[in-house]
Amino acid sequence: MQQITIRRPDDWHLHLRDGAMLRAVLPETARDFARAIIMPNLVPPVVTLADTVGYRDRILAALPKGAVFEPLMTLYLTEDTDPADVAAAAASGVVKAVKLYPAGATTNSHGGVRDLTRVLPVLEKMAEVGLPLCVHGEVTTPEVDIFDREAVFIDTVLDPLRRRLPGLRVVMEHITTEEGVAYASSAGPTLGATITTHHLILNRNHILAGGIRPHYYCLPVAKREKHRLALRAAATSGNPQFFLGTDSAPHTDALKEQACGCAGCFTATNTMPLLAHVFEEDGALDRLEAFTSLNGPAFYRLPVNQTTLRLVKHATPPPFPDKIVTEAGPVTVFNPGFPVHWRVEA
Ligand code: DOR
Ligand code: ZN
């Protein structure tokens, strides 16, 4: 029997939603993870310090009895965000980052930013107080092909922004391309990049060849195989700039399996076994802990977790649930399409 014990992981990019969905999905993350950066794209979005305090309280109230889990809150950046509120948010200790959604880029992003020059005072304040900016790195220009939107964003938005504000710490969220890997690798310690579990497993053929698979559709959309391989190399490299952000994003089956389905893969339930599989396949099990438990805290300037997580490899793949039940309907758990022999055990 093969096994590995690592420091308890954190998820540096997570969607928990609210209400009944929050109550259904939170235990899936809290089971394995000590902390998570909580995305603010609720309806309406979480835009002020007061909003984050309320949302954090609802998350804590939804935790199962005995669970030890710390939500690390984010503010949803709008063109009306007040630099003073952001400074107060940073000082409060509740808010660990501000999230930039280019308006229209993804789920509930219409309240996001259209014109970056309008949020420069906020970004300058963030650089001053050391609060990181988490970026959904895709342009929204309709003419730009969806598979090119990340690379174009890096050249036309991210790089100019970082040159203008070199003191701003930025996380490129859920990178999906070799261009993203190259840009992050060449940048200094003010830049981090999260990588999702599903982007280490999927390329665009998995979504589209032989039938359309809505549960593999997410944003940014999975790209060609060469990009997946670049992400695998980055995640398993041990390079401190890369860390896990699952982007686990629950939508009910009814919303995924329709003519215009929602974007998001729900990986909270089985991320750690999947990552053990991926890292073992690449001969990098000894670097799993860096990716899931060390590099993220270092970037966010937070202590590493003191508790641990044990993963055990079984001869027969242990079953995992294919769906979780929510009051709004079932949510399909990400199925990688291959047997997974690893399981988290006490
Ligand atoms: O696939 C995604 N789902 N990508 C995002 O950026 C948002 C997320 C969601 O909130 O459903
Ligand atoms: Zn997300």
**Distance (Å, rounded) from C-alpha 265 to C-alpha 334?**
6
The answer to whether the CB of 109 is under 6 A from ligand 1 is no
Question: Between the CA atoms of 187, 176, 287 and 276, what dihedral angle is there, to the nearest 10 degrees?
Answer: 170
Instruction: Tell the residue nearest (CA) to atom 7 of ligand 1.
Output: 107
Number of the ligand 1 atom closest to the C-alpha atom of 15: 10
Host H or E run for residue 194: strand 191-195
Kindly report, residue by residue over 170-201, the tens digit of the pLDDT: 999 999 999 999 999 999 999 999 999 999 99
Q: Provide the residue ranges of all domains of the chain, joining segments of one domain with +.
A: 2-345
Mutate to test the pocket of ligand 1, among 15, 99, 175, 331 (most ligand atoms within 8 A of CB): 15
Kindly report, residue by residue over 14-48, the tens digit of the pLDDT: 999 999 999 999 999 999 999 999 999 999 999 99
Q: How far is the CA of 327 from the centre of ligand 2 (A)?
A: 22
**Chain mean pLDDT for the chain:** 97
Confidence band (pLDDT; 50, 70, 90) for 105?
confident
Class for the domain spanning 2-345: alpha beta
Compute the average pLDDT of residues 247-260.
98
User: Is residue 96 within 8 Å of residue 37, measured between CB atoms?
Assistant: yes
Whether the full predicted model's pTM is greater than 0.75, yes or no, is yes
Residues near 120 by beta carbon (within 8 Å), at least 6 away in sequence: 164, 165
User: Is residue 193 within 8 Å of residue 242, measured between CB atoms?
Assistant: yes
**Distance (Å, rounded) from C-alpha 83 to C-alpha 85?**
5
Decide if pLDDT at 1 tops 80: no
DSSP code per residue over 205-269: HHHHTTS--GGG--SSPP--HHHHHHHHHHHTT--TTEEE---B----HHHHSSTTPPP----TT
Mutate to test the pocket of ligand 1, among 38, 42, 219 (most ligand atoms within 8 A of CB): 219
User: If DSSP codes are grouped into helix, strand and coil, which group holds residue 180?
Assistant: helix
Kindly report, residue by residue over 133-175, the tens digit of the pLDDT: 999 999 999 999 999 999 999 999 999 999 999 999 999 999 9
Decide if 247 is catalytic: yes
